[in-house]
């Protein structure tokens, strides 16, 4: 099975948010109780019941105002910090290249959320499980597109074989250099499986210009400082040390 | 729409004004985006910087209610800079017709047209007519230079709409205004097409109809009517609302836009004499000259064997009202005054969606009975137990009938592009919910029972009505009745050209004739062939009239029948086979230069066959003129006539007018993507409430500073009619306008919320008023005055 990918062509996004509703419908996620805090944007962040959302940004410049919309979700890195750092090896890359969480292995330590360059995963504190966008591998395995891509009315979300998606992205870049300036995700983090076509620098949209793999010492320190004392803690620290440094002691 | 959704993708330039399709018609943006991908320019003109504006190449703000100044200024620019399509204007519009010498315009009469009577607030329109020669034909000057020709009068009328004056009125930056004039004006070149997309932002004004008239004039001047990627396209706001107006749901219309009879129509002949247009012009097809055929066929459809030549085909079974206005506002005024005793409120929620909603809620208390039909118990159905209302004090008996949703019933749905598409039932309705068809059928059967022993024409109208549907109507049979039959052979008709006025044909809606024929139910077709390659898809469902996908398409070709636009031809004349290819032509007449005997002008629905730059027939003038909204922050700059001189002013004690001294801020109302109309269907869905949880007010940073309001604050908004609360969104997307040297602030309010449902909030329409457009009486929801403060 060739690797698959989702292209988010930001220039076409209307922020209709049909993708957010389709995601909740397919994944059987509840609607959150929110307040209007002075913006169209809601929920205010990803959560255990919100795997994707549109970030609304107003930019004032000399020409007037711009209203930018970016779909936030797991970008499914090829070199995924979460996968590399997970002490219980709960994260893995499936046949499509998507990063998935093995529910029965996950212990909810939160290291994936802390060290994700895009701050995506969320930990369900009650169930001690990390959750995030899966890119609907259950749908993709049946030849369907992820729920968000299926519902998108404008062609903002284009799904397919990763190679074909990248070729399409380059074609769009070539055709409309005044509109689309960057393809984000071809090389970043070893190659993302969710790529952005951006009309401006990645940082304008809150994306790191050069996302880096985290430092394992920092990751270990995080685990050491955040886990409550228990027999499990010692086991996790030992697993982490072996995974990060190749031996049992720091 | 004169065109259709897919055709938007064929456009070279899109002017979105008075609409917000990115938010209210997101699916349409598939085609807007396609056009942009092919190099089209997208222009958005709106008081607010919307999600549509966010995608536009050019955005211009304007003060709410100043559209005529804005588009009038575009018309002037196009005339002055010679950007118009000269041959099209000369041949396909009434530009060359000479107008009666008694006709005078607002430039001469201080903002009024000739014939105004201030007592009745109406025009005597007898001077708004063409000069005719001895044969009764309109006089013309095809050089377009006679000072009495339409073209010169149009030029003179709009000469006052210079960019400086326009921008003083609208508050638009002059640079942006001129950029839009040049960009859209560039579509006047033969072979280029510009489209106008509009919705309620254009119509919900005291000048709503004339707003749309400005689009018609602009599009005729640029040669954009009839062309692929052109036209005037009303984005309808509800599924099948197009079907509802096609089917005569408005008070002044029967089906197929035939006029409803009035009390002076003492016979069928008198009615037909009043409504049937006449012409002596051999070049005019005057299609509506066929009116008698459509009307008699309709009466035969409704009254069957009881409709005979001797009884005027049952014409007298129809009610003939004495008052001339039974629009929404008029009905609620009559209810408030106690003149109406009962109301069927069918899929409508006036306590949230009605103008001056608190007054409309009070009006419901005057009723003896109310039947509310809806998916949920709406605020209207529950008005008797609204917060602050004592049910003991309400005499109205309320019945709530649960209705089936669109997926729970079978039938047709007509989209904005006039495609009538069959829709199958997916699931059974829950509980006791029933389809509209079943509810109305059972109601009629009961009425027939109750009126069986009554005498008189009113009872006869119910007794004689043909109703073969039983308690569970089969919509496929209804589709056949709507299409119509040859009553002698019993066969379904295939075109309204087969309808007769002698009572031998029946058709429930002449414009739908051809939708369900002996070949089958055309609305069920799902053919994916597009032989012309222009997105016409002639075998996908069926489009009225006669499966024509683009109206006025014979104006898309030159006098030899060849497309102005070779890239996007709609129809082309094939001289060898002497026929049109492409779309179904608007009347199959040969091209104007090739067969002067058999040809007819392209705008066949007009008595003169031409597009109307000069448009008599509306109540408020043959040219659009700039007036201020009923509540306005300024004196009209264009003339001393402040507001539309013929719009009806209701003056109940609950419809108070607010002055700029008390209410200095302009307000407008709108919908957001995440909620639907009055929220009955969406404020009960947690997934949507999560996205748009609360009633809000949008305002500029500048106004926020002035009032000490920051984003997230609770605020109070007050108009002369009421007071509501909301959360503030303080944003750069709203800007104060510089109007005639003064800073005028504008705020925006969505109108989705009410006191019922999972997401509750105050109702914006408590602020709006009972004042309507001069022609349609649609309420002026889009421009009124208010004041705001921190709660």
Q: What is the DSSP string of B381-433?
A: TTGGGSTT--GGG---EEEEEEB--GGGS-EEEE-TT-EEEEE---SPPSTT-
pLDDT (tens digit per residue) in B196-221? 999 999 999 999 999 999 999 999 99
Residue with tokens 């497309």: B563
Tell me how far CA of residue A85 lies from CA of A94, A193, B264, in angstroms. Answer: 17, 19, 86
Q: Which residues contact B283 (CB under 8 A, 6 or more apart)?
A: B599, B600, B601, B609
**Contact by Cβ (8 Å): B768, B352:** no
Question: A245 and A125, same structural domain?
Answer: no
Total number of domains in chain A: 2
Question: A70 and A36, same structural domain?
Answer: yes
Nearest to A12 among B33, B49, B727 (CB): B33
pLDDT (tens digit per residue) in B176-188? 999 999 999 999 9
Q: Which backbone phi and psi does B462 adopt, to 5 degrees?
A: -85, -40
Interval B517-527 mean pLDDT: 98
Interval A222-244 mean pLDDT: 89
**Separation between Cα atoms, residue A158 and residue A145, nearest integer Å:** 9
Residue B324 has pLDDT above 80, yes or no: no
Pick the CATH number of B665-790 from 3.40.920.10, 2.60.120.620, 2.40.40.20, 3.40.50.1820: 2.40.40.20
Question: A132 and A11, same structural domain?
Answer: yes
Beta bridge partners of residue B59, listed in sequence order: B44
Report the alpha-carbon angle B208-B209-B212, nearest 5.
Answer: 95
Give the helix, strand, coil percentages of chain A, each rounded to 5: 30, 20, 45
Residue A249 has a pLDDT of: 52
Question: A223 and A180, same structural domain?
Answer: no
Is the complex ipTM higher than 0.90?
Answer: yes
Between chain A and chain B, how many beta carbons pairs sit less than 8 Å apart? 103
Whether chain A has a CB inside 8 Å of the CB on B710: the answer is yes
Question: A224 and A162, same structural domain?
Answer: no
Interval B11-27 mean pLDDT: 97
**Separation between Cα atoms, residue B699 and residue B724, nearest integer Å:** 15
3-state secondary structure B154-176: HHHHHCCCCHHHHHHHHCCCHHH
**Separation between Cα atoms, residue B128 and residue B113, nearest integer Å:** 9
pLDDT (tens digit per residue) in B730-770? 999 999 999 999 999 999 999 999 999 999 999 999 999 99
> Number of H helices and number of E strands within chain A?
8, 10
Interval B307-323 mean pLDDT: 94
Give the helix, strand, coil percentages of chain B, each rounded to 5: 30, 20, 50
Whether chain B has a CB inside 8 Å of the CB on A35: the answer is yes
pLDDT (tens digit per residue) in B265-301? 999 999 999 999 999 999 999 999 999 999 999 999 9
Give Cα B90 to chain centroid, integer Å. Answer: 28
Nearest to A38 among B23, B29, B727 (CB): B727
**Separation between Cα atoms, residue B732 and residue B423, nearest integer Å:** 43
Where are the CATH 2.40.40.20 domain residues in chain B?
A: 665-790
Beta bridge partners of residue B9, listed in sequence order: none
Residue B455 has a pLDDT of: 86
HSE (CB half, 13 Å, CA atoms) of B655? 22
pLDDT (tens digit per residue) in A102-126? 989 998 999 999 999 999 999 998 8
Q: Are strands A157-161 and A4-9 parallel, antiparallel or unpaired?
A: antiparallel
Of all residues in chain B, what percent carry a pLDDT higher than 90? 97
Mean pLDDT of chain A: 94
Whether chain B has a CB inside 8 Å of the CB on A12: the answer is yes
Question: A113 and A26, same structural domain?
Answer: yes
What does the block give as tokens for A113? 């959320």
Residues of B in contact with A65 (CB under 8 A): 49, 732-733
Interval B710-727 mean pLDDT: 98
Residue B357 has a pLDDT of: 97
Report the residue of B6, B687, B734 to disrupt the A interface, i.e. the one with the largest count of A CBs within 10 Å: B687
Mean pLDDT of chain B: 96
**Contact by Cβ (8 Å): A81, A214:** yes
Report the alpha-carbon angle B426-B476-B540, nearest 5.
Answer: 75
Residue A176 has a pLDDT of: 84
Question: A234 and A205, same structural domain?
Answer: no
Question: A115 and A6, same structural domain?
Answer: yes
Residues of A in contact with B730 (CB under 8 A): 38
Burial class (CB in 10 A: 0-12, 13-18, 19+), B310: exposed
The alpha carbon of residue A27 is apart from the nearest alpha carbon of chain B, in Å, by: 12
Chain B (653-692) residues lying within 8 Å, Cβ to Cβ, of chain A: 672-674, 685-692
What does the block give as tokens for B781? 């929801």
Answer yes or no: do A17 and B673 touch at CB < 8 A.
Answer: yes
What does the block give as tokens for A209? 């210009």
Residue A250 has a pLDDT of: 46
pLDDT (tens digit per residue) in B37-68? 999 999 999 999 999 999 999 999 999 999 99
Question: A48 and A138, same structural domain?
Answer: yes
Answer yes or no: do B33 and A64 touch at CB < 8 A.
Answer: no
Residue A248 has a pLDDT of: 52
CATH number of B328-415+419-451: 3.40.50.740
The alpha carbon of residue B677 is apart from the nearest alpha carbon of chain A, in Å, by: 16
HSE (CB half, 13 Å, CA atoms) of B711? 14
Domain of residue A6: give its range: 1-211
Answer yes or no: do B49 and A15 touch at CB < 8 A.
Answer: no
**Separation between Cα atoms, residue B415 and residue B241, nearest integer Å:** 8
HSE (CB half, 13 Å, CA atoms) of B305? 0
What is the DSSP code (8-state) at residue B613?
S
Nearest to A65 among B30, B685, B733 (CB): B733
The reply to whether the predicted model has a pTM over 0.95 is yes
The alpha carbon of residue B290 is apart from the nearest alpha carbon of chain A, in Å, by: 42
Interval B553-560 mean pLDDT: 97
Question: A189 and A87, same structural domain?
Answer: yes
Report the CATH number at residue A47. 3.30.70.20
Task: Render B80-137 in DSSP notation, one character per residue.
Answer: HTT-S-HHHHHHHBGGGBBB-TT---TTTTTT--TTEETTTTEE-GGGSSB-B-TTSP
**Separation between Cα atoms, residue B354 and residue B176, nearest integer Å:** 35
Indicate the pLDDT class of residue B775, thresholds 50, 70 and 90: very high
The alpha carbon of residue B229 is apart from the nearest alpha carbon of chain A, in Å, by: 18
Answer yes or no: do B693 and A18 touch at CB < 8 A.
Answer: no
Question: A177 and A64, same structural domain?
Answer: yes
Indicate the pLDDT class of residue A247, thresholds 50, 70 and 90: low
Q: How many C-beta atoms surround the C-beta of residue B189 within 10 A?
A: 15
What does the block give as tokens for A217? 């010492």
Residue B192 has a pLDDT of: 97
Residue A39 has pLDDT above 70, yes or no: yes
Interval A23-44 mean pLDDT: 97
Residue B457 has pLDDT above 80, yes or no: no
Question: A95 and A194, same structural domain?
Answer: yes
Whether chain A has a CB inside 8 Å of the CB on B136: the answer is no
Residue A63 has pLDDT above 90, yes or no: no
Whether cis (ω within 30° of 0) applies to the bond prior to A43 is yes
């Amino acid at each position: 099975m060739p690797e698959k990918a989702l292209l988010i062509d930001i220039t076409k996004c209307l922020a209709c948010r049909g993708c957010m509703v389709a995601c909740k419908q397919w994944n059987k996620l509840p609607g959150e109780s929110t307040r209007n805090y002075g913006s169209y944007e809601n929920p205010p962040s990803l959560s255990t019941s919100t795997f994707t959302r549109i970030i609304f940004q107003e930019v004032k410049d000399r020409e007037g105002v711009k209203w930018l919309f970016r779909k936030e979700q797991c970008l499914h890195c090829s070199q995924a910090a979460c996968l590399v750092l997970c002490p219980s090896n709960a994260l893995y890359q499936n046949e499509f290249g998507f990063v998935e969480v093995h529910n029965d292995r996950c212990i909810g330590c939160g290291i994936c959320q802390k060290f994700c360059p895009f701050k995506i995963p969320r930990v369900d504190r009650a169930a001690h499980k990390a959750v995030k966008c899966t890119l609907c591998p259950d749908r993709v395995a049946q030849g369907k597109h992820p729920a968000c891509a299926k519902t998108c009315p404008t062609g903002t979300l284009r799904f397919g074989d990763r190679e074909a998606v990248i070729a399409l992205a380059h074609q769009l870049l070539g055709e409309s250099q005044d509109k689309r300036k960057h393809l984000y995700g071809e090389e970043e983090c070893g190659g993302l499986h969710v790529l952005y076509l951006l009309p401006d620098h990645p940082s304008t949209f809150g994306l790191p210009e050069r996302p880096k793999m985290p430092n394992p010492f920092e990751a270990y320190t995080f685990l050491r400082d955040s886990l409550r004392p228990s027999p499990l803690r010692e086991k996790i620290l030992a697993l982490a040390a072996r995974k990060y440094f190749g031996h049992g002691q720091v | 729409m004169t065109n259709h959704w897919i055709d938007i993708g064929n456009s070279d330039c899109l002017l979105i004004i008075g609409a917000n399709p990115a938010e209210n018609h997101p699916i349409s943006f598939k085609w807007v985006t396609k056009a942009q991908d092919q190099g089209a320019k997208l222009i958005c003109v709106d008081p607010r910087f919307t999600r549509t504006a966010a995608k536009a190449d050019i955005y211009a703000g304007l003060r709410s209610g100043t559209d005529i100044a804005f588009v009038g200024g575009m018309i002037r620019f196009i005339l002055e800079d010679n950007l118009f399509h000269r041959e099209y204007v000369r041949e396909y519009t009434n530009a060359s017709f000479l107008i009666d010498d008694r006709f005078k315009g607002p430039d001469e009469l201080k903002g009024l047209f000739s014939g105004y009577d201030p007592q009745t607030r109406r025009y005597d329109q007898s001077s708004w007519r063409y000069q005719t020669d001895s044969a009764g034909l309109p006089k013309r000057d095809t050089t377009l230079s006679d000072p009495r020709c339409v073209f010169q009068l149009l030029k003179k009328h709009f000469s006052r709409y210079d960019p400086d004056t326009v921008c003083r009125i609208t508050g638009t930056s002059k640079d942006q205004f001129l950029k839009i004039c040049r960009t859209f004006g560039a579509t006047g070149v033969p072979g280029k097409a510009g489209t106008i997309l509009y919705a309620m932002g254009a119509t919900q004004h005291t000048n709503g109809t004339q707003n749309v008239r400005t689009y018609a004039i602009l599009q005729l001047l640029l040669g954009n009517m009839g062309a692929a990627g052109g036209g005037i396209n009303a984005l309808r706001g509800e599924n099948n609302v197009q079907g509802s107006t096609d089917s005569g749901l408005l008070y002044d219309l029967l089906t197929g836009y035939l006029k409803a009879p009035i009390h002076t129509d003492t016979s069928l002949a008198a009615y037909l004499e009043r409504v049937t247009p006449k012409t002596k012009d051999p070049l005019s097809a005057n299609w509506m000259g066929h009116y008698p055929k459509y009307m008699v066929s309709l009466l035969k459809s409704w009254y069957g064997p009881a409709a005979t030549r001797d009884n005027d085909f049952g014409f007298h079974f129809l009610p003939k009202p004495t008052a001339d206005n039974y629009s929404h506002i008029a009905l609620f005024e009559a209810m408030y005054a106690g003149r109406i005793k009962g109301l069927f409120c069918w899929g409508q929620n006036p306590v949230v969606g009605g103008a001056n909603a608190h007054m409309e809620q009070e009006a419901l208390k005057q009723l003896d009975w109310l039947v509310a039909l809806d998916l949920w118990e709406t605020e209207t159905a529950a008005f008797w137990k609204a917060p602050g209302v004592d049910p003991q004090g309400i005499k109205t008996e309320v019945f709530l009938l649960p209705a089936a949703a669109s997926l729970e019933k079978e039938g047709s749905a007509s989209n904005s592009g006039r495609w009538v598409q069959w829709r199958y039932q997916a699931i059974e309705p829950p509980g006791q919910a029933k389809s509209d068809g079943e509810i109305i059928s059972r109601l009629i059967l009961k009425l027939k029972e109750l009126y069986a022993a009554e005498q008189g024409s009113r009872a006869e109208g119910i007794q004689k009505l043909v109703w073969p549907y039983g308690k569970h109507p089969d919509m496929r049979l209804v589709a056949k009745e709507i299409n119509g039959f040859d009553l002698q052979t019993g066969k379904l008709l295939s075109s309204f050209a087969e309808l007769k006025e002698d009572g031998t044909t029946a058709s429930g809606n002449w414009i739908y004739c051809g939708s369900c024929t002996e070949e089958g139910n055309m609305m069920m077709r799902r053919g994916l062939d597009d032989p012309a390659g222009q997105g016409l898809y002639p075998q996908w469902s069926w489009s009225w009239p006669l499966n024509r996908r683009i109206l006025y398409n014979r104006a898309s070709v030159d006098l030899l029948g060849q497309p102005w636009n070779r890239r996007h031809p709609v129809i082309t004349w094939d001289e060898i086979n002497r026929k049109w290819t492409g779309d179904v032509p608007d009347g199959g007449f040969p091209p104007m230069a090739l067969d002067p005997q058999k040809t007819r002008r392209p705008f066949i629905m007009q008595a003169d066959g031409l597009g109307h730059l000069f448009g008599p027939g509306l109540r408020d003038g043959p040219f659009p003129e700039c007036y201020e909204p009923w509540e306005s922050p300024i004196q009209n700059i264009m003339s001393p006539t402040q507001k539309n001189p013929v719009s009806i002013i209701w003056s109940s004690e609950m419809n108070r007018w607010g002055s700029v001294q008390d209410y200095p801020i302009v307000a407008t109302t709108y919908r957001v993507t995440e909620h639907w109309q009055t929220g009955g269907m969406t404020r009960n869905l947690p997934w949507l409430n999560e996205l748009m949880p609360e009633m809000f007010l949008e305002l500029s940073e500048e106004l926020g500073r002035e009032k000490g309001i920051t984003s997230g604050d609770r605020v109070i908004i007050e108009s002369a009619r009421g007071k509501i609360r909301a959360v503030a969104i303080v944003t750069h997307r709203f800007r104060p306008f510089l109007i005639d040297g003064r800073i005028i602030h504008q705020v925006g309010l969505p109108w989705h919320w009410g006191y019922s449902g999972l997401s509750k909030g105050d109702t914006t329409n408590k602020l709006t008023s009972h004042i309507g457009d001069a022609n349609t009486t649609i309420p002026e929801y889009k421009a009124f005055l208010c004041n705001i403060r921190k709660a």
